[in-house]
Amino acid sequence: MKYVYYGFGAFIGFICGMGINLIFYWLDQSGVKFANYLITNFGFIGKYILELINALPIIGAALGIILINLLFNRDMKEGDR
């Protein structure tokens, strides 16, 4: 049952990360050149931040699993008995 919890947490984290990633994508498509601003003003760190934004769905899935583990750790250990 704990894998169902982990899967649900990963799914919700992935969806939230995808939503935030879409907001940045739509911001770039609307004419606000956010990516160009980051690269020209911050150089390598700006490129790094852009890659972190692109990895938000995966980071969100990992954080969802960690959050489920923190929130339901006691409940999942009681179910193993």
**What pLDDT, in 10s, does the model give residues 53-70?**
999 999 999 999 999 999
Name the residue type at position 48.
Y
Q: Which run of H or of E encompasses 12?
A: helix 2-29
Residues 63 and 20 sit within 8 Å (Cβ to Cβ): no
Q: Which domain holds residue 13?
A: 2-79
Q: pTM of this prediction?
A: 0.80
Q: Which residue has the tokens 């193993």?
A: 80
Could you give the number of structural domains in the chain?
Answer: 1
Give the HSE-up count for residue 47: Cα atoms under 13 Å, Cβ half-sphere: 2
pLDDT at 9 over 70: yes
